[in-house]
Amino acid sequence: MGVERVRIAQFSDLHLGASLSGGKLALPQAKADKRRSEQRQCLVRLAAHVRETRPALLLIPGDLFDSGEPEIDDLNFVINTLNTMAPVPVFIAPGNHDGYAPSSGYNPHSALYQGRGSGPKWGNHIRIFAAEQFETAPVPGHAGITVTGVAFHRHRPDSRRVLADLARAPQSGLRILLFHGALENYPRAGADKAVLPFTAAELERADYTYAAVGHYHRGGPIVGEHGRLLGAYAGAPFACSLSDAGAGTWLDVEISPQEPLKESALHWHRCDERAIHALEMDVTGLTDSTSLSHRLDDVLAAARAGARDLVHLTLRGRLARGVPFAPAEALGDRVFHVAVDASALEPDHDVDLAAEPAGEPGLAATGQELFIWRMRQLYHQATSDEERHRIREALCYGLDALTSGEIHLR
């Protein structure tokens, strides 16, 4: 009897164990601890969904952990949680962060795994791909469904063209490909590094029914040259850092080998209840605190940033001298967390370095006038944009010192 329509769940790139207190968001420890608890809840919610809906299988294409050697508490938590999903089959293809290695928590023979005493064991319903070459395994309880997967072995850039040499898919049944890799020209790639690069054409030639791919943190479909849906990124279920703005999802897929796969078969679920917003605000021309406050309100409203969200605000332009503006304090009780980057602000010095330098100032010239004249000379003598940029910065620092007696680092 042939395979009928089935539903699968896809979840990856949780990066459990990643540092949540560093980076540009600079979360204080108490908030980082709260976010770490919320990160774990993403996997708990997935487990509850799997137990309730009973998909044919769960696919995890890598980076469940942020390291191949996670903390014992994280490893035990993941094993315990995945074990609650039995008997639903779970297939894991380790990624570039949590690669399969002799020391890996995925490896049942590793010192880490063996040294946990009474810690839980990977359930019999869980298949972890361990080889750096693709292997094909049947799905228990579902005749006619196979999963072909591959593992990373270490956290390093990997430019192998694994799909270029991949044998064509099995000739019948529902054929699933599972791996952690970077689709070239993926429109939602963000800042994620290219590892195991592949093209849509390579994937289409392999002729699998569906490809569950991990690595990129913003979920989206993978479409072939002629519009055929080839697979998808579920995205990261939890936003660990500023680069994860737009992340926070996992995926259900409905597949039938008798019907062409369409994007309507992809059903994303929101998992992270908080969103990260990377916002910018130009302060040029806002010469009083009320105008600045109103502009800040507009920026926040346009992004629909709410009380549960995290905001990173970059200030740009020229801030009027002597005008108080403390956006972190203003937003402190309106969002869960705010970090402000003021390094791109320009000082309120109205000097045009590009203007032709006049003759040398006379004896009555002030120190400030002499300094501006000399910097303008150097600017016109500069031979590169980089040199002119350094001169412009030196002018700003010098005028800070001359006008206020302080230097404001930018």
Cis peptide before 87 (omega within 30 of 0): yes
- Examine the domain organization and report whether 290 and 396 are in the same domain: no
What are the backbone dihedrals phi and psi of residue 268, each rounded to the nearest 5 degrees, phi first? Answer: -85, 145
- Examine the domain organization and report whether 234 and 132 are in the same domain: yes
pTM of the full predicted structure?
A: 0.84
- Examine the domain organization and report whether 163 and 25 are in the same domain: yes
Q: Choose the weakest-confidence range: 22-36, 68-82, 178-192, 196-210.
A: 178-192
- CATH code of the domain containing 71: 3.60.21.10
E strands, 165-302, are 174-180, 182-183, 197-198, 210-214, 220-223, 229-233, 249-255, 266-270, 276-282
For residue 1, the model assigns a pLDDT of 47
For residue 158, the model assigns a pLDDT of 58
Mean pLDDT on 209-237: 94
Residue with the bigger pLDDT between 323 and 60: it is: 60
- Domain count of the chain? 3
| 238: β partners | none
Domain membership of residue 401 as a residue range: 352-410
For residue 103, the model assigns a pLDDT of 95
Domain assignment present for residue 1? The answer is no
For residue 371, give both structure tokens. Answer: 């300094």
**Nearest CA among 191, 263, 272, 275 for reference residue 233:** 263
For residue 3, the model assigns a pLDDT of 63
- Examine the domain organization and report whether 283 and 266 are in the same domain: no
At 190, the pLDDT band (50, 70, 90 cuts) reads: low
Domain assignment present for residue 240? The answer is yes
- Examine the domain organization and report whether 137 and 12 are in the same domain: yes
Is the pLDDT assigned to residue 157 strictly greater than 60?
no
